[in-house]
Amino acid sequence: MYDVVIIGGGPGGYASALYAHNFGLSVALVEKDSVGGTCLVRGCIPAKTWLQAAEVFTTVKRAAEFGVIASEPTFDWSAGLARKNQVVTGLVKGLSGLLKQRKVDVIDGFGRLDGPGRVIVNKGGEEQVLEARNVIVATGSVPRSIPNYDFDGVHIVSSDHALDWGAQPARVAIIGAGIIGCEFASMLVDLGSEVHVFDILDRIVPGVDTPAANELQKALKRRGVKFHLGVSVAPPVVGAGSVTVGFGDESVEVDTVLVAVGRGPLTSDIGLETTKVETERGYIHADRQTQMTAEPGVYAVGDVLAGVPGLAHGAFAEGIAAITFIATAEPAPVNYQALPNVIYTHPEVAEVGWSEEVAKEKGLDVEVHDHSFMGVGRAIIVGENKGTVRIVVEKDGPIVGASIVGPHAGEMIHELMYSVGWEALPAEAAAFIHAHPTLSEAVGETLISSTGRSLH
Ligand code: NAI
């Protein structure tokens, strides 16, 4: 009998397994593919490795601006793919080693609940029964498609396929201008592909602070991404070596179509019907304080959860919360308000807390303060001085949200995470001095301006 059996070895599952050692819990982690899950194997890590390759390529192209004379670079796609695989393999190996060191039993196979406290693992028809005091469901999500656009891995692909393309597509249509669509658009356009992005909405990255989304769209457009927003795509016409995507009276011919219209939970075949776990369109309802589902002793974390963002670091936090409750009976809820969200496009976009729109929807009287990277010394030195830091402050109250568009936004957002998480008043946060010259000074300047004063 294990203290905890976890189904799914992605960020939600492996974080739960790793954290359990703090309390001396015995753990089995059931995984059908490779530990690491979507994030490590076919999501965050490989996608950001490709984006890094695009950034290096762009930097070399701009070398002469800095006085560095290099010949015009070319991109070796197979070397990029090999590096991506090397990064993923290295991290999977590291994770496997860490799980072993923490004495987690990693069980290879497909796990299915058989009532609370029992998980049946199927590996090639062979079944193994695991008894557990607690079960954590962390089975994650898979890419969704739209009618007529079934994935075939060649003409119509998901992000899973695109991360493993054997050659660079010269022309790509991306359906869905969400986070995945925009990250691929940014990477592919920088590496020289012709990129068309379609969305039924008339904006990109829905849910992200609108001014930040507009700034990102402008930057991608400037670099050549063609946006077709507020349109419905017609069924694809697959020809010899090409696909035609129609919209309204127009059409574009591309080599391949990447569908990135969101992800759906992977919960249909894991025995939830043998428990009292409640679901909604496949997503699992869990208590926000404890991660427990409607079935006592069955918990859920990660992308399977209803009503919370599907982010790897959110899954880490949910795993910690579930394990803490299992071990101590004390709730340790995830602070979603202070959970940062980063889009790794060029420029990066990062946000935390509430945007102005969301704060107003919640009935808050807010002020917005922003500062451009335009005149920030370090940004000029780096050659990346486009972008804006924006903070949302409750009138006579704390900082409730922030967004950053610009270089290293994903790193800088964390100081604003503390401001939001600790409900800092602008004057308290502005009292700290940022080192000069740094990119973070843009945050410092925004904080100073939120006190009604200004420096530069
Ligand atoms: P998404 O929800 O961000 O965006 C999907 C987009 O597809 C939306 O703009 C939507 O309007 C559009 N769409 C839906 N149906 C359509 C149709 N029939 N025709 C045209 N457009 C249509 O989903 P995405 O980008 O697939 O990402 C899934 C999730 O993965 C994200 O919500 C996020 O939680 C996670 N993720 C996070 C990343 C990060 O944190 N950097 C990176 C990648 C994914």
At residue 455 the predicted structure's pLDDT band, cuts being 50, 70 and 90, is confident
CA 232 to ligand 1: nearest atom? 19
Q: Which numbered atom of ligand 1 lies nearest the CA of 146?
A: 18
Query: Domains of the chain (ranges plus CATH)?
Result: 2-142+264-336 (3.50.50.60), 156-261 (3.50.50.60), 347-450 (3.30.390.30)
How far, in Å, is the centroid of ligand 1 from the Cα of 30?
Answer: 28
Cα–Cα distance measured from residue 405 to residue 23, given in angstroms and rounded to the nearest whole number: 40
Query: What tens digit of pLDDT does each residue of 296-342 get?
Result: 999 999 999 999 999 999 999 999 999 999 999 999 999 999 999 99
What CA–CA distance (Å, rounded) separates 327 from 314?
20
To the nearest 10°, the Cα dihedral for 23, 26, 30, 33?
70
Instruction: Judge whether residue 456 has pLDDT over 90.
Output: no
User: Cis peptide before 437, with omega less than 30 degrees from 0?
Assistant: yes
Please give the model's pTM, rounded to 2 decimal places.
0.97
CA 357/CA 146 separation, integer angstroms: 29
Q: Is any ligand 1 atom within 6 A of the Cβ of residue 106?
A: no
Ligand 1 pocket member 180 (CB < 6 A): yes
454 falls in which pLDDT band (50, 70, 90)? confident
Looking at ligand 1, which atom is closest to the CA of residue 207?
A: 3
Average pLDDT of the residues of the chain = 97
Q: pLDDT category, 66, cuts 50, 70, 90?
A: very high
Q: Is 198 in the pocket of ligand 1 (CB under 6 A)?
A: yes
Sheet containing 242-247: which strands, arranged edge to edge?
Answer: 237-239, 242-247, 250-254
pLDDT for 70-126, tens place per residue?
Answer: 999 999 999 999 999 999 999 999 999 999 999 999 999 999 999 999 999 999 999
Pairing of strands 110-113, 118-123: antiparallel
| Structure confidence at residue 144 (pLDDT) | 97
| Contact assessment for residue 199 and residue 220, using Cβ atoms and an 8 Å cutoff | no
Query: Active-site residues: which are they?
Result: 436
pLDDT at 129 over 90: yes
Give me ligand 1 centre to Cα 182, in Å. Answer: 9
Query: How many alpha carbons fall within 13 Å on the CB side of residue 38?
Result: 24
